[in-house]
Structure 1
Amino acid sequence: MTPDATCVRAKETVLDAARKMTELGVGALPICGSDERLKGMLTDRDIVVKVLGAGKDPAQVKAGDLAQGKPVTIGADDDAGEILRTMAAHKIRRLPVIDGHVLVGIVALADVARALPDTSVGDLLETLSTD
């Protein structure tokens, strides 16, 4: 897990989020509301497809506008098996880790690849790669 994940605030613009991604060298940021609760995840792909590709101005679109539904998360006490099941079931590559309602980190596919046996990682990659 990558601890102390940096949030983009729901009211910040997508341009602000892109700058944060560049500074941090990441491809996704959690979207947090003013109540510090996780609202969703914003990926570099979201920015390209839903903003730039749709002809929208990234300096006008708010990050919170791209948060969809209830975010998929994992609890801080959950084990590796639960992480694998959750990532596979929702076909996601980045999984926010929460303790209560507080974001404490993110488990990325790269974290899984470094920490778990090759067969577990291979099974997850196969699941994420199929439609």
Structure 2
Amino acid sequence: MIAVADFMTKDLVTVRESDDVALAESLLRLGGIRHLPVVRDGRVVGLLTHRDVLRSSQSAKTAARDLPVRDVMTPDPVCVRATSSLAHAARLMLERKYGCLPVADDEGKLVGIVTEADFVRFAADVVRDLDLVAEAVRVRERQGDA
């Protein structure tokens, strides 16, 4: 079984509930990322996405950039454990249409994140490997015909 721990991103960018949306927006832009786990004492309490930031700027009557992250984030996001199977995480993301899953330990401490981009990268690697195997089989078959 491939575990989430074998696959997740461990170098994380996070924000706190009290940080303002302007900071979060800058972190998203500068990091080239779309998902920010929101933590309190290292524990996952929310998730802020690029889409959340865009939505808040369209609907806020006050300057959305000045709002605290807690007003814009999705509270209590679904998390997976590092020991969860990668297939389980993928199925959960597909069924619920999630762009990412925070990875937390048994106490709720954030230890990683799994994103759609991680799965696309994984799929590209698997397809490359399958192409190499297929080419090796073709070469072997040609050698057998000679």
Q: Give CA deviations for 1:101-125 in whole Å, capped at 9, x if unaligned.
A: 211111111211222467xxxxxxx
- Given that 1:39 and 1:67 are in contact with CA atoms closer than 8 Å, whether structure 2 keeps it comes out as no
Unaligned runs of 5+ in 2: 1-7, 128-146
The structure richer in strand per residue is 1
Q: CA RMSD for the aligned pairs?
A: 1.7
One-letter amino acid of the structure 2 residue matched with residue 11 of structure 1: S
Q: Give CA deviations for 1:71-96 in whole Å, capped at 9, x if unaligned.
A: 11110011111111211232101111
- CA–CA separation in structure 2 for the residues paired with 1:114 and 1:17: 25
User: Which residue of the partner structure matches residue 26 of structure 2?
Assistant: 19
One-letter amino acid of the structure 1 residue matched with residue 94 of structure 2: A
- Given that 2:52 and 2:73 are in contact with CA atoms closer than 8 Å, whether structure 1 keeps it comes out as no
- What TM-score results when the alignment is normalised by the length of structure 1? 0.79
User: Which residue of the partner structure matches residue 123 of structure 1?
Assistant: none
- CA–CA separation in structure 2 for the residues paired with 1:30 and 1:47: 13
Q: 1:53 aligns with which of 32, 53, 58?
A: 58
User: Which residue of the partner structure matches residue 116 of structure 2?
Assistant: 109
Q: How many residues align?
A: 116
User: Which residue of the partner structure matches residue 96 of structure 1?
Assistant: 102
Q: 1:45 to 1:75 in 2, by over 3 A?
A: same
Unaligned runs of 5+ in 1: 119-131
Report the alpha carbon displacement of residue 63 of structure 1 after superposing the two structures with TM: 0.6
